[in-house]
Structure 1
């Protein structure tokens, strides 16, 4: 597996993000989905990565460097194609995103995910994330889970 920067406006990224959108829409109502658009993922404060297995794009993830509620990186749009799940893709994406924050001297990483994603919650817990209250512009939502980790 290898991970490299991916243009969020490219056709392969658009395909992954559309599948991610459909998956999240199947789990949560629109008001509980907080996904970044491809254009937002192309902004200078965002790193968008693709993970490749056997030459195929298997998943993606992003981190957005924020300064609205202290300085932190926010994990966004981590998604792995169903056929590649269970092979450590998400873990490696998360580690690459965290490494980028360390390189940028950003000491804290946060994320918002949903209550209907036990695999994601389990991964974040194993990676050392702790539960917290809403951050930034997020509001309390019974379908949302907020987590953070010191790097």
Structure 2
């Protein structure tokens, strides 16, 4: 079954339900103090772009977001694919959209924080060229967090 990925508002009921589902999943894997969720309202703020994956019937099956912290730094946020859709390349496709948008914006570096119990996510990030690093932005060092960064083409070739 084909999936489409497009920039959409997170302020839709279907997307709110997907984000609530994501939050529930994350809270089963990490303590609340180690979960750094953006609310759907925060996802709708200027400087944040949200991609939504939908199946052929228009049902929301996944999401991801780019949060711009500065002209130089962007953050990958809210990456999630519903369990029954995992393993079909949806996360990779959403991440590719995020990376392409960041490069088009001239962002030089993408960073992210993910949990210590998310090996499928690590594989997606690492295959996309992200490398593990220490804490990024204002995230604290935590045994529950894994951090990644990726230098983007335009900035690294201009340096």
- TM-score class, shorter-chain normalisation, is over 0.9
Provide the aligned C-alpha RMSD in A.
Answer: 1.1
Which of 8, 23, 26 is the matching residue for 1:24? Answer: 26
Which of 51, 61, 65 is the matching residue for 1:58? Answer: 61
Aligned to 2:137: 136
State the TM-score, normalizing by the size of structure 1: 0.95
For 1:75-117, what per-residue CA distance to the aligned partner results, in whole angstroms no more than 9, with x for missing partners?
0000111111110000000000111111111121110001101
Q: Distance in 1 between matches of 2:123 and 2:78?
A: 17
Aligned to 1:122: 123
How far off its partner does 1:150 sit?
Answer: 1.1
Moved over 6 A (4+): none
Unaligned runs of 5+ in 1: none
- Computing the radius of gyration from Cα coordinates, the structure with the larger value is 2
Q: Distance in 2 between matches of 1:45 and 1:121?
A: 25
Unaligned runs of 5+ in 2: 153-159
Aligned to 1:39: 41
How far off its partner does 1:22 sit?
Answer: 0.3
SS at match of 2:63: strand
How far off its partner does 1:53 sit?
Answer: 2.4
